[in-house]
Amino acid sequence: MNAVDGRLEGKVAVITGAASGQGRAAARLFAKEGARVVVADLNDEGAQEVVRDITDSGGEAATARVDVSREAEVEDMIRQAVEEFGRLDVLFNNAGVGYSASDRMKMASVVETPEKDWDTILAINLKGVAMGCKHAIPIMEEQGGGAIVNNASINALVGLPGADAYTAAKGGIVSLTRVLAVDWGPKNIRINCICPGGVETPMIAPVLSDEQVLSLMRESTPLGRLARPEEIAQVALFLASDEASYLNGAILPVDGGWTAR
């Protein structure tokens, strides 16, 4: 896989939730731009498929099976990246659960959300990001710098009812991004956050199956459509690259204009 512009040439990137959706698109794009990529996911079969796609095209990649809600597994993921490729330059904290997990945990208002589901959703969507940062930052500090991109949601920026644990976790990612950017910017570690709107991924497939809801989402977006995963990946690539060398602590809506209303 020959780099088009080589924006990540020579860099090592870890992407969580990389077996599908936005993470899968980012893994392919980062590799295309020259990165050696660790495709991290609980879905080992899906991760291996992504790695095959990358290596078949001439890139370098490896899998890491990880449950981001467990600190020990996140620590192992980061250690594996360094052992495999010798360094760590980029972390894309992308893993998360949403409506596609509705059969396992309830996506509802705070009043209707069982405690165990609240804890599970926050453990994956917020704690997972925190643990990724916790174990990546010391390595980046020792190397003299790095870039972390956290994936949140427009739910973190506006009041969208119906998935309050998800919303609370995504809001936490925004606040965590800001404080880490202040703490670690002096060490040349840039930490930024993407807040996607509706994206055509398996995560929101149950929602998109309702034509009425899909029409409403399109009507609420000035561009009149949902994003493709590749469009979010392009923003993550920019933030991870040296082209964004003066961006730190940015909270960037990528929502087709939804939050501009």
Structural domains of the chain, with CATH: 12-251 (3.40.50.720)
Q: pTM, whole model, 2 decimals?
A: 0.94
Mean of the per-residue pLDDT values of the chain: 94
Identify the active-site residue in 166, 169, 226, 252. Answer: 166
Pairing of strands 189-196, 146-151: parallel
Quote the CA–CA distance of 155 and 171 in Å, as a whole number. Answer: 7
pLDDT at position 10 over 50? yes
Look at residue 216 in the predicted model and tell me its pLDDT.
Answer: 81
pLDDT > 90: what percent of the chain?
Answer: 85
pLDDT range class, residue 3, cuts 50, 70, 90: very low
Confirm if 208 and 216 have CB atoms less than 8 A apart: no
- The answer to whether 246 is a known catalytic residue is no
Tell me the angle at which helices 229-240 and 21-32 cross, rounded to the nearest 10 degrees: 50
Look at residue 23 in the predicted model and tell me its pLDDT.
Answer: 97
SS3 of residue 80 by DSSP? helix
Strands (E), the chain: 12-16, 36-41, 60-65, 90-93, 146-151, 189-196, 251-254
Pairing of strands 189-196, 251-254: parallel
pLDDT range class, residue 152, cuts 50, 70, 90: very high
Confirm if 138 and 82 have CB atoms less than 8 A apart: no
Quote the CA–CA distance of 21 and 41 in Å, as a whole number. Answer: 12
Look at residue 212 in the predicted model and tell me its pLDDT.
Answer: 73
pLDDT range class, residue 206, cuts 50, 70, 90: low
Sign of the alpha-carbon torsion through 57, 59, 63, 64: negative
Tell me 255's DSSP state.
S
Quote the CA–CA distance of 7 and 242 in Å, as a whole number. Answer: 7
Q: What is the pLDDT of residues 55-102, one digit of tens each?
A: 999 999 999 999 999 999 999 999 999 999 999 999 999 999 987 788
Look at residue 5 in the predicted model and tell me its pLDDT.
Answer: 62
Look at residue 2 in the predicted model and tell me its pLDDT.
Answer: 46
Quote the CA–CA distance of 234 and 224 in Å, as a whole number. Answer: 20
Average pLDDT on 210-229 reads: 87
pLDDT at position 1 over 90? no
208 vs 28 pLDDT, higher one? 28
Pairing of strands 189-196, 60-65: unpaired
